[in-house]
Amino acid sequence: MKKPELLAPAGDYERAKWAFRYGADAVYLAGPSFGLRANAPNLTMSEIKKIVAEAHAMDKKVYITVNIVLHNEEAGKLHDYLKELDILQVDAIIVSDLYALQLAKKHTNLKVFVSTQASVMNYTAALFWQKLGADRIILARELAKDDIALIKEKTNIELETFIHGAMCTAISGRCVLSNYLTNRDANRGGCSQVCRWQFGLYQGDEKISDNFAFAVKDLIMVDYIKELMTLEIDSVKIEGRMRSIYYLAVVIAIYRRIIDGYYEDDNYQITKEDYLRLQRVANRLTQAQFFASKDQVAYHYYDMMENSNQDFLGVVLGKKDGLIYVEQRNRFRVKDQVSIFGPDRKEQVYTIQKMYDEDGNAITVAPHPQQKVYLDINAIVPVHSILQKLI
């Protein structure tokens, strides 16, 4: 059984640091150009330099997305950008365009990973990309277990697969709905998520529904991590460069525990609490998608709900005079039982005994977003631990 790399998203410099704190072996992120998440903050070149240095000091890796569909105006600017990334010693770039692969291999020392946007769904395609110089294939998300197993058997290139997060309605994300309806090019970073809109559905002239959608349920592979490890997949990937630090911390920490657990003990059992957290941390329905079966109903269609919860209560900023210094995210009060977890600790339950504002005044509730308070909790709680609602 192989222990795969746990690869996490990072929408900005701060989220990259949180991903590493909570157990990611590598992060993927976008620089100022050529990434598919134009609405994420993304990183400047100076921030990429910083996070690469920090990652390498921890023996971790940084991959840069360069996976937009290149038009003529972008292609001419790519050479200089790749040279800059090479100088910064990023560990790999993620591409979907043949020209980007060719350019990187000819003019840089960068490793090149083929994006899921390239829709590699068979071993002959994987071998084709390998012959051109690709170092890793990020498999299409539409593959079943047997498909992945055959590609692994027939190739000797690194393989990466998604294990958690949002899915695209289109094949491997190659969608033009956003282009037509909002004039935002999804394949150049401008997706407006038209698939999640509510539409009127008609049969002839009769309206059947006011809230029809065709969004896909989110991916969750928690029950199949052991099988992916047995298949010797090289890297397992979490989706979500637009997600919060809370989402990253919860999802990364849980998958970190599961991967390490199976690697150390073939009979490892996933806890009920971890199942519940993974279900609650996102605001959409989830399922294993194509890996387990190609026949599952993977769409929302009707009554799609995306209700956010208030599980995320706060972030530990430090400690003073025996009190825990916390920045609030959702309302909590004295006598509440809260769950606290950190980069190197499972959830533990504590009761808030007393609470004080920044001036030292006793208070009973923290109602304001990002309010900073001191908590009297009988625990040693490291910085960057997270308070969350007890489930």
| Within a domain: 370 | yes
Q: Check whether residue 337 and residue 251 sit in a common domain.
A: no
Q: Could you tell me if 43 and 145 lie in one domain?
A: yes
pLDDT-derived band of residue 374, with 50, 70 and 90 as boundaries?
very high
For residue 321, being part of any structural domain is answered with: yes
Residues 160 and 22 grouped into a single domain:
yes
Q: For residue 385, give the CATH number of its domain.
A: 2.40.30.10
Helices marked H in 132-221: 145-154, 177-182
Q: What is the CATH number of the domain that holds 162?
A: 3.20.20.60
Same domain, 159 and 34: yes
- Higher-pLDDT residue of 386 and 294 is 386
> Does 260 share its domain with 343?
no
What one-character DSSP code corresponds to residue 362? Answer: E
209 pLDDT tier (thresholds 50, 70, 90) = confident
260 and 361, same structural domain? no
What are the residues whose beta carbons fall under 8 Å from the beta carbon of 110, sequence distance 6 or more?
82, 85, 86, 90, 92, 93, 104
Domain boundary among 270, 287, 304: 287
**Same domain flag for 264 and 328:** no
Q: Are 70 and 99 in contact (CB under 8 A)?
A: yes
Residue 257 covered by a domain: yes
Same domain, 335 and 227: no
Residue 204 lies in a domain: no
Q: What is the mean pLDDT of residues 135-148?
A: 95
Q: Does residue 334 belong to any structural domain of this protein?
A: yes
Q: pLDDT category, 303, cuts 50, 70, 90?
A: low
Residue 299 included in any domain: no
Considering the domain architecture, whether residues 252 and 340 belong to the same structural domain is answered as: no
Cα torsion through 181, 294, 126, 60, rounded to 10: 80
Residue 188 has pLDDT above 70, yes or no: no
Lowest mean pLDDT of 36-45, 62-71, 87-96, 306-315, name the range: 36-45
Whether 305 maps to a domain, the answer reads no
Number of domains composing the chain: 2
> Are 347 and 273 contacting, i.e. CB atoms less than 8 angstroms apart?
yes
Q: Give the pLDDT confidence of 71-117 residue by residue, as tens digits.
A: 888 888 999 999 999 999 999 999 999 999 999 999 999 999 999 99
Q: Sorting pLDDT into bands at 50, 70 and 90, what band is 314?
A: very high
Integer Cα distance of 98 and 69 in angstroms: 10
Q: How far are the Cα atoms of 266, 270, 271, 311, 348 from residue 345, in angstroms, in the given order?
A: 22, 16, 14, 18, 8
**262 and 376 together in one domain:** no
Percent of the chain with pLDDT over 70: 93
- In the chain, which residue ranges form alpha helices assigned H by DSSP? 13-21, 45-57, 72-75, 78-87, 98-107, 123-131, 145-154, 177-182, 225-230, 245-264, 272-281
- The domain in which residue 351 lies consists of 312-389
Same domain, 265 and 377: no
Residue 153 counted as domain residue: yes
Are 340 and 283 within one domain? no
